[in-house]
Amino acid sequence: MDAKNIRPSQRQNRNLTILVLSRKGYFTYKGLYPYLLSTYFFYIKEEARIPLTKVLLPIIDDNNNRSILERAVNSQGKWEPLKAFESSWTFFRKLGMGSIKNQQVEDLLQLDYYRLLDGMQIPDKAKLSLFWGGLVDFLVNTWSILEEFWLVIGIEEKLKEEEKKREEQIQNEGGTPLPEQNSPWKKLIYWPDMQLEHHLINILLRLRAGWDKLADYVIAEYYGITHAKTWETRINKLDREIQPIINDKQIMFWKNWIENARAISNGLRVARDFELHKIAVRVKETLGNPKYTYSMNDLENFVLFEHFRLQESFLLILAMIRSV
């Protein structure tokens, strides 16, 4: 294959660069929680974690981050159990460094995508222009998910402020009910509640779209596989056609990816399809049916961990491609 086709076009590379810079600049400046930019390996199997990191280390965009993570990997012994949102790297924990200070160092999506395929043996059927376009599209979708999370954080802060004001008002009035509590009408929700639900559902829909982009426009275009219609037939077709052409190390990453892809069939995909095809049934804490819909807190936790699953599944594919 002509070497000039291996790298993204000038426009695609500019977009990739902007997307990488936004993860470590734009979102940090806006106050996005650092743990949303970190890589925890919740959905990457233990035996694949160090191999995946070693494969991606050479293309980490920031030289300082690369050096720190190289030391972390070299110091990593047995993979120790983690507490929720604790640093994935034993190196940091042994030094007593709080994970909040290092989580963006641990962001394995901050890669120099321009060099992703350098030195790789590219499949003959690969449609690289479409692959690079799909990769940009996937990362734009990820950018949108992070933007929605930032909006969620802002709304939650407003809700806390309003709750604090209501409590202070009750205390100032000597514990007497608020005027609305004497009314025959009961206020079910506040405007920020509706906004919070709206943005959480937007994240849900974006996460589902991310899986389609990853399967159809990153994996399928790189390996030259035609799309199938439904999600199950799509991933089964990918599995059937890809396994015979990859090596043992790649299979480890691929089987991990397939497991994650199948997990969303009865999780994320159902949640997204139910929202779209059941006339936008509301979250049960507002106007929904508690038998079928999420509480607001459950929905937030659900989209948070599905965000991690999608990011880590993307990394599995990048590691698989580079493990030739």
Quickly count: other Cβ atoms within 10 Å of residue 279's Cβ.
Answer: 7
Q: What is the pLDDT of residues 186-233, one digit of tens each?
A: 556 677 777 888 898 899 999 999 999 999 999 999 999 998 888 999
Structural tokens at position 250:
């790649």
Q: Which of 209, 191, 199, 194 is nearest to 141 (CA)?
A: 209
Quickly count: other Cβ atoms within 10 Å of residue 18's Cβ.
Answer: 14
- Please give the pLDDT value at position 296: 79
Q: What is the pLDDT of residues 14-71, one digit of tens each?
A: 999 999 998 878 887 787 887 888 888 899 998 999 899 999 999 999 898 898 888 8
Count CA atoms within 13 Å of residue 303 on its CB side.
29
Structural tokens at position 177:
């009910």
Return phi, psi of residue 60, to 5°: -65, 130
DSSP label of 268: H
Residue 298 to residue 304: CA distance in whole angstroms: 10
Q: Report yes or no: 72 and 92 within 8 Å, Cβ to Cβ.
A: yes
Q: Report yes or no: 282 and 288 within 8 Å, Cβ to Cβ.
A: yes
- Please give the pLDDT value at position 291: 62
- Please give the pLDDT value at position 160: 81
Structural tokens at position 216:
């159809």
